[in-house]
Amino acid sequence: MDDQQQPQQVPEVQQATPVMTEGSLSFPFLEHEDTMAALREAHTLFILRGLPGSGKSLLAQAIGQKYQGLSKIISADDRKIEPAVHSVLPEEYKGMDEETDSCCKAGTPVIVLDDTNHDTERLARLYNLAEQHGYSILIVEPKTPWKTQLEELKLKTHWSLSEAVLTSLKGPLEETPLPLFYGWFLTKKCEDHLRKKKEAFLKNLSSLDGFKECVSQFTTEECSEEEVNLEQYFHDMGVLHCTTKFCDYGKADGAKEYAEKEVVRDALCHASKLKLSALFVTPRTLGARVALTDEQLKLWPADAEKEVMPEQDLPLGSRAHVTLGCAKGVEPVQTGKDLLEFVKLEKEGNEGEKVQDLEQGELRYFGKGMWMLRLSQEDELLGVFSGFYGKKKEADKAEEGAAEKKPEEEKEGGAEKEEKKESQPEGKKKSKCTLL
């Protein structure tokens, strides 16, 4: 009888509730006022990641309490999905995905996925869900002192897991997933505000006689001068953000080094206010110019401007922007390049020709279809610093902040290569304005 009762006592010990130590819940989204304000008006998918017993569920509960009425916790434990390295993902994950999808469609501001999230295939599903519904992703690991101590974890998890199983899970979790790019992602409220500002700007610009005289810069093989509609000409590029570093999931030069910087790790999940100083339009792109603070410049790569204009000595942060739209066939990376053309002209003393004072600010024309509206008052928008983990589209292989070519390639025949690329037949006519 005693022999039969002994195994029943083991789970009692393993189900001991972990006690969170000081600092274990020290996260900006639980303590920082600007960050909490941003997340209350954003669409955010928290992906909790870590070993069983490391404190993920308590962290999920803390997030749920902080954003009570605005959040939904979706737990693998609730579905009895036992942590393990699976050759095939369990069917129960479909239920989690369906619930996540429903919450996204309903516009739940904060969704928390409580699971080990060690499987790359599983993470890819979550990235796609977030991208599909316009949600920003925050990957968060517990800060408990025992989060990697296997003997301690065996006691704290309610699952009866061997040290061998925990070791097999620990391996994949030791490698931090790197995003396509890092940057500040605007809250939903700020996105809506900026899009309305963009629409007002385009309507004002298209109605001006000065623009109508130069509208030929914006015509295409499919659209005559009489038919140009700027709001349709520029295609929306998804979640609005200001890129800092293009990482290509760790493949880009300096990506891993950037991700490991203390200043970058400390900034993750923090919100800050981005100051917009101008809106600009070229035949290729539509963007908002960002004036970075000294604190934000610490996250800005030192070679960001040199990647595009190696021969120029431009101020650090000159390339900071939010892409608001691109002409057909134009990649978002072009927005930063176009902005640097404005900066270069300004440095040379060319401030453009003043066209008109508009309600939003002063409109200037720099020639070649380059228009800039200098805002009379800087606009402050909240953005959360994180990474974009969605798929890299074929037509967007060089995301904002990227410079796929080396400086030497930019100098020697860069435009020539781009022209050849654009001239390749794709079954559809290309816009004349896509030639860079």
Query: So which residues are the catalytic ones?
Result: 241, 321
C-alpha closest to that of 178 among 252, 78, 266, 103: 252
SS3 content of the chain, % helix, strand, coil (to 5): 40, 20, 40
For helices 92-106 and 120-133, what crossing angle results, to 10°? 20
Which pair of tokens denotes residue 262?
């203390």
Give the pair of three-digit tokens for residue 303: 């070679």
Q: How many CA atoms lie within 13 A of 302 on its CB side?
A: 3
Phi, psi of 370 (to 5 degrees): -100, 110
- Contacts (Cβ under 8 Å, ≥6 apart) of 393: none
Kindly state the tokens that stand for 334: 């072009």
Dist. CA 351–CA 357, nearest whole Å: 15
User: How far does Cα 92 stand from its chain's mean position?
Assistant: 29
C-alpha closest to that of 337 among 423, 401, 404: 401
428 residue type, one letter: K
